[in-house]
Amino acid sequence: MSVLKTTLIRSLAIVCVSFFCSQICLAQSSATDDASKAVKAATQEGSSTANKAANAPEAETPEPLSFSVAGGNLNFTTTGTWKSVKPKSRMLEREIQVPRTENDNRDGRLTIMGAGGSIEANIARWEGQFSQADGSATKAKVTEETVENMKVTMVDISGVYVETMGGPFSGGKKVENPNFRVLAAIIETPESGNYFVKLIGPKATIGANEKAFVEAIKSVKLKE
């Protein structure tokens, strides 16, 4: 092979190597640019989302629900998610609608009324409104608290609630409601006798509102 031919081959090889190297560099540079653009876009999008979240209006907290009974002698404050409604019975001084949990088919019902009879007799009557799936006797969980120097008897009963349509003394049709629960507080007032606060409904709904119920009882203030 002549010297000239060898030189030409080497020159061609150098040119090819240079060409391929330049293409690789261009590809790498393009990839780097694309990655840089993607990072920049993601950063801008994240910053925009963060700004929107920071500038979004805060969810409004509902005003606490405040009400009084016993001619204004007993005053309650509770969660704003509960709604005051017209009592279904003239015996009631106040009725509150307590929103159901997602899987329950009924709202909870909170009622307040003054009534006579001994505390023990009323608890026994409430126990009689419940039955147990295993046939055992219903037994209430009973504790005592002191609020505003008043004795408060707290009652907790669960089971199948046998509801008398039209009210417990109406003699109406009886309907069984499984997995029900009642939370009750009997407040012994100094001037207005005993006041009964009852929250009843599906067990899950009552459980979800148990803390609010207890806070409502502990919020009780006597008229000054």
Report pLDDT digits (tens) over 123-139: 999 999 999 999 999 99
Categorise residue 164: left if φ over 0, alpha if ψ from -120 to 50, beta otherwise: beta
**Residue-level pLDDT at 111:** 98
Predicted pLDDT at 54: 53
pLDDT at 87 (0 to 100): 96
Q: Quick one: CA dihedral 195, 200, 204, 205, positive or negative?
A: negative
Residue 220, classified by CB atoms within 10 Å of its CB into exposed (0-12), middle (13-18) or buried (19+), is buried
The rounded distance, in Å, linking the Cα atoms of 52 and 216 is 37
Q: How many Å is the maximal CA-CA distance in the chain? A: 128
Question: Among 82, 43, 83, 74, which Cα is nearest to 196's?
Answer: 74
CA distance 73 to 124: 28
CB 82 within 8 A of CB 97: yes
* Under-70 pLDDT residues of the chain: 1-59, 165-172
CB atoms near residue 57 (< 10 Å): 5
Confidence (pLDDT) at 40: 57
- What is the spatial distance between Cα 96 and Cα 94, in angstroms, rounded to a whole number? 7
Q: Which of 101, 85, 92 is nearest to 212 (CA)?
A: 101
pLDDT at 164: 81
DSSP code for 71:
G
Rounded Cα distance between 12 and 6, Å, is 10
Return the domain boundaries, the chain. Answer: 1-56, 65-222
CATH superfamily placement of domain 65-222? Mog1/PsbP, alpha/beta/alpha sandwich (3.40.1000.10)
